[in-house]
Amino acid sequence: MSEQKQQPLQVVKINENTYRIEDNGVRSLLFIGTEKALLVDTGFGASGSMKEEVEALTDKPVVLVNTHADGDHIGCNTQFETAYMHPAEMPYYYTTAKPDASVCPLWEGDVIDIGGRSFEVILIPGHTPGSIAILDREGRILISGDSVSETPVFMFGEVRSLNAYIASMEKLMKMQDMFDEIYPSHGPFPVAPAQIEKAHAAAIKLAADELEPQEPPFPIPAKMFSSDGASFFF
């Protein structure tokens, strides 16, 4: 395998008070309100300081929320005073991170108010037990983490559950009149809400053993399964 060069963190402005911070294939999001800023995820942690990037964009106090605890989303967590995540994600988080008082729970229906913008927590287990989506009701945006993406969703390994994932996609499908765009953690940005139905349909076929396994594009202990614009590593 040829050696991959790590790129420094790359900040991309989405609009006047919203940024995405790209870290070698994974994306963090920064929403700036009148009182606080919301940072969603902290990348791999190997390509510079997420905290420095965020502080260059805002002087507001930063609320850090993790969509889930896969290693590419928590890399710079310790640079921040508190990391909020769903309690169902904490056992998985603690398989790599040291349990300490800086981790705080965030529950289904909790609303994070940063001043003029508010964000609601939606529990969508499947990719991991405590994966969350975050709904910006005023901005009509759904932040999906890894669970809805045009790139393959990782569904192999101990913490994943395909049945829970299917139920979570059904939950999001019922909420589709509340958002116009999806902000995923990987791949093309943004993504259309129709991706949820695609993921749901493909996951049902995968669970029913109706999809042909393909070789994944990089070495992982899984096969790739695709159907109508959605795919999984399983």
Residues near Zn ion (CB under 5 A) are 70, 72, 146, 185
Report the nearest approach of Zn ion to the CB of residue 112 (Å).
21
Q: What is the smallest separation between the CB atom of 146 and Zn ion, expressed in angstroms?
A: 4
Q: Is the Cβ of residue 72 or residue 136 nearer to Zn ion in the bound state?
A: 72
Nearest approach, Cβ of residue 145 and Zn ion (Å)? 7
Q: Which is nearer to Zn ion, 184 or 193 (CB)?
A: 184
Identify which of residues 56 and 220 has a Cβ nearer to Zn ion in the complex. 220
Contact 117, 139 (CB under 8 A): yes
Nearer to Zn ion, 44 or 117 (CB): 44
Nearer to Zn ion, 23 or 70 (CB): 70
Furthest C-alpha separation in the chain: 51
Question: What is the smallest separation between the CB atom of 85 and Zn ion, expressed in angstroms?
Answer: 14
For residue 74, the minimal CB distance to Zn ion (Å) is 10
